[in-house]
Structure 1
Amino acid sequence: MADPSYYQRFPVTQQLQHTEHIFHLYVEQRSNQLPNGNQIPIAPTKPPSEPAGHFGFGVSCDWDVRDGPTPAAKTVARAQGLLLGTGQLTPFHYFLCQNIIFTDERFKGSSLKLLGSLPNDVNDEWAIIGGTGEFAFAQGSVKYKQVMVDPTGIVIRELNICVLCTNKPMKRIPYKDGPLGGKGGTICDITEAPQRLESVTIQSGDAIDSIMFSYTDQAGKKQMAGPWGGNDGLEQTILLAPTENVTKVFGTTGEFQGDTVVTSLTFVTNVATYGPFGKTKGTPFSIPKEDGDNVVGFFGRVGSLVNALGVYVTPSFAN
């Protein structure tokens, strides 16, 4: 069945990246009986002072979240949500559902979604079940403990927050580097923009006879290119692992049978070095020029041999 017009899907063929965020914060809860209270009852049944009065008792809260334990510390977020009494026996027990909404400049507009329990006088843990902004796709936990309880109705808790976020890979537009070599032969190029290199097959003897490769295009489809060149020489294939990327191509160019051609190639990945293929004689070269980029495809000039070779390049995940 065809997908409807309001829906799109894309395969994720790149390695996912995760970011861990660690926060050490303090939250202050103030009773509504105080002039500056930051919570209010919304569903009272029995007064909380009566037996089982907390059961079914609801509170709407907008707690201060600071970078230190004192009122003089900077307020960096608000803990906004609901508390619902879910325990019939003492000590009382609340279910907590909150958003920690950041207000400081660094994380303003981002939030964390919390679920958990708030038992009386007990240090416990809340679950992070999601987030927005910089914390999209968040998972993690908040370990808390009471550091101050004032009889007037103020409670301060220390929060140790650990958040793990999955970062969606961004589409990386490739650029061309090269070609390097001679001007003989005809132009060979690919028609679909590449996203990731999957394999490379080289035929070589005294020079590079041909090159063939497979790659994943920007739509996530596997494509084949080549063989470009002749069919002489020893054939060797490099199969790249799922997390392996070609970061550098070294080679040499020189005169062969009256033409300037690519005489050798060496492929360097984040895992291993493959080659050299051919004979390392002539003028050396290396592409791409920038370190930290990934080779995702090739183009060049080809006749009976590979006359010149260039690469398609995208920035690495580290950049």
Structure 2
Amino acid sequence: MEKSRTPSKLMISSSITIFSISILFSNVALAGNTNHQFCRELSISKFEEKLTHLRFYYHNLIKITNAQIVSGNSSTGFGRIDVVDAELREGPETNSKLVGRVEGLELNASQGELGLLMVISFAFTEGKYNGSTLSMLGRNLILREVREMPLVGGTGLFRFARGYAQARTVLFNSSITIVQFDFSVIHY
């Protein structure tokens, strides 16, 4: 009697197991491969970290450089949203050297006190940092003498930036707000 040429169940099961194991190991090998065209790892140790202190003044001409988009609904202005494109100057004097722009959003986000959520970019136009930006995102309790907000990133010479900003109001009236900013920035 001639033996049947059909494979046994044990042979099929063994073949499937061997095939599965080889697929598993090839996937592990591929996962460890960092030679992809879309990414590569870089060593951060090649870059030197710096700490930079900056002082400048935010000049917001209320009716000119500030536009209200949404009005607030309480004594604190809760819910109000303003778009800002204001001047960044070297000093508190309105004729001091223009060093950049302050662009972003100010949102009245506190129901209990005058508190803004600041989503702001400081775009520098003068000196060494011309073309660079710093981004701030944080709470600004505007009635406090000194407020501290986080710096969350930057561009140009401020790539990978992180740090904090301290704000002090120099002048506030119905036509202009001048705020002194002191930035401590860690960057490469």
Name the TM-score, length of structure 1 as normaliser: 0.46
- Find 2:91's aligned residue among 68, 75, 89: 68
- Find 1:97's aligned residue among 108, 111, 119: 119
Partners in 2 of 1:14 and 1:153 — Cα distance? 49
For residue 7 of structure 1, what is the aligned residue in structure 2?
39
C-alpha change, 1:20 and 1:13, in structure 2 (3 Å) is closer
Partners in 2 of 1:149 and 1:13 — Cα distance? 44
Q: Secondary structure at the match of 2:157?
A: helix
Partners in 2 of 1:127 and 1:138 — Cα distance? 11
Q: Which runs of 5+ in 2 are unaligned?
A: 1-29
For residue 113 of structure 1, what is the aligned residue in structure 2?
135
For residue 155 of structure 1, what is the aligned residue in structure 2?
177
Deviation for aligned residue 1:58: 0.6
Partners in 2 of 1:5 and 1:23 — Cα distance? 39
Runs of 4+ in 1 over 6 A off after TM superposition: none
Give identity over the alignment, percent. 23
User: Does residue 41 in structure 1 map to residue 68 in structure 2?
Assistant: yes
In structure 1, give the amino acid aligned to 2:52: H
C-alpha change, 1:15 and 1:58, in structure 2 (3 Å) is same
In structure 2, give the amino acid aligned to 1:28: H
Partners in 2 of 1:110 and 1:16 — Cα distance? 18
In structure 1, give the amino acid aligned to 2:62: S
Structure with the bigger percentage of helix: 2
Deviation for aligned residue 1:116: 1.5
Question: Deviation per CA, 1:69-124, whole angstroms, max 9, x where unpaired?
Answer: 111101101110101111112x3211001100001142111000101222232120
Partners in 1 of 2:140 and 2:45 — Cα distance? 41
Question: Deviation per CA, 1:178-234, whole angstroms, max 9, x where unpaired?
Answer: xxxxxxxxxxxxxxxxxxxxxxxxxxxxxxxxxxxxxxxxxxxxxxxxxxxxxxxxx
C-alpha change, 1:109 and 1:121, in structure 2 (3 Å) is same
Partners in 2 of 1:140 and 1:18 — Cα distance? 12
Larger RCO: Structure 1 or Structure 2 (Cα < 8 Å, ≥ 6 residues apart)? 2
For residue 137 of structure 1, what is the aligned residue in structure 2?
160
For residue 17 of structure 1, what is the aligned residue in structure 2?
48
C-alpha change, 1:14 and 1:94, in structure 2 (3 Å) is closer
Q: Secondary structure at the match of 1:76?
A: strand
C-alpha change, 1:154 and 1:14, in structure 2 (3 Å) is closer
In structure 1, give the amino acid aligned to 2:54: F
User: Does residue 78 in structure 1 map to residue 104 in structure 2?
Assistant: no
In structure 2, give the amino acid aligned to 1:62: D
Deviation for aligned residue 1:156: 0.8
Q: Secondary structure at the match of 2:93?
A: coil
For residue 62 of structure 2, what is the aligned residue in structure 1?
31
Partners in 2 of 1:16 and 1:105 — Cα distance? 22
Deviation for aligned residue 1:44: 2.5
Larger Rg: 1
Partners in 2 of 1:14 and 1:132 — Cα distance? 20
Structure 1 residues 258-277: aligned runs within 5 Å: none
Partners in 1 of 2:184 and 2:44 — Cα distance? 28
C-alpha change, 1:87 and 1:6, in structure 2 (3 Å) is same
For residue 22 of structure 2, what is the aligned residue in structure 1?
none
For residue 192 of structure 1, what is the aligned residue in structure 2?
none
Structure with the bigger percentage of strand: 1
Question: Deviation per CA, 1:10-41, whole angstroms, max 9, x where unpaired?
Answer: 3x284641112111111112212xxxx10101
For residue 51 of structure 1, what is the aligned residue in structure 2?
75
Does structure 1 retain, via aligned residues, the 8 Å contact 2:114–2:143? no
Question: Deviation per CA, 1:277-316, whole angstroms, max 9, x where unpaired?
Answer: xxxxxxxxxxxxxxxxxxxxxxxxxxxxxxxxxxxxxxxx
